[in-house]
Amino acid sequence: MLKTAQTIVVLSLTATLLHAQEADLAKKLANPVADLISVPIQSNYDFGVGPGDGTKWTTNIQPVIPFGLNEHWNLISRTVLPVIDQEGLAPAGDSLDEFGLGDTVQSFFFSPKESSPIWGIGPVFLIPTATDDLLGTGKWGAGPTAVVLKQEGAWTCGALANHIWDFAGDGDRSPVNATYLQPFVAYVTHTHTTFSLNTESTYDWQNNQWTVPINFQISQMFKIGHHPMQAFLGARYYAEKPDDGPEWGLRLGITFLFPKS
């Protein structure tokens, strides 16, 4: 009887510990500068693009890798490498159909290990990795980036921003001078389900044009064996866009997690 009671207690404590660890992982995923290695693969499907009302499928491979600089500071590397498939963007007779890599955006955040609110600041770089002129800018760019957020209980609220100017590349291509703003709010439930709302707004200073998609997303933590993951699904509406910009879109994907043991 005593051994049975001890076993029940051990199993209960183990389940409680695992639940707390998964809750901590879900909360860290809502923090862009968390000390957690993750690899989100995010697919975005936009409709009504261009004068031909075409579609654009952009799959962003987004590894996030933290490096401990010392006992007080982390360096967070955030990479966005897009794989793009666009079809039917132009009217019949013209072709803007293309599949390949887009330009890479590489950010580095210097972030204190302990702070309230949580914040990070550093440089961002635009790398012309596009495999076709239709899929990229043909420019090298750089600028500042910053993030600030507050986590209180199940809630995370904050904003991420950057600005990129081009400094080299194809002189025949349009200049790059763009501001990116991403305010966000997320709520994590006791079942490790995350509801999030954000905008991923870009202002093109060259053409004086906003692109403002409003995204709603539901994410769920789960495990395959001992490996934690998060799947997500969402939709977005473009509150502001260029004349040939998309009207609405869907988002889905999965995040692979590599927590410290």
| 170 CB burial (10 A radius; 0-12, 13-18, 19+) | middle
Confidence of residue 90 (pLDDT cuts 50, 70, 90): confident
What single-letter DSSP state applies at residue 219?
E
Q: Kindly tell me if the per-residue pLDDT of 9 is higher than 50.
A: no
User: pLDDT digits over 162-173, tens only?
Assistant: 999 999 999 999
What domains can you pick out in the chain, each with its CATH number? Answer: 2-258 (2.40.160.40)
List, as one string, the DSSP characters of 120-169: EEEEEEEE---SSGGGS--EEEEEEEEEEEEEETTEEEEEEEEEEEEEEE
Percent of the chain whose predicted confidence (pLDDT) is above 90 = 79
Q: Is the pLDDT of residue 2 over 90?
A: no
Residue 129's φ and ψ, nearest 5 degrees, are -95, 5
Average pLDDT of the residues in 6-24? 49
Query: What is 184-210 written as a DSSP string?
Result: EEEEE-TTSEEEEEEE-EEEETTTTEE
Q: Which residue has the tokens 């997320």?
A: 186
Using DSSP bridges, classify how beta strands 73-87 and 155-169 pair: parallel, antiparallel or unpaired.
unpaired
Average pLDDT for 30-58:
92
95 falls in which pLDDT band (50, 70, 90)? confident
Please tell me what DSSP assigns to residue 14: H
Q: State residue 91's pLDDT score.
A: 74
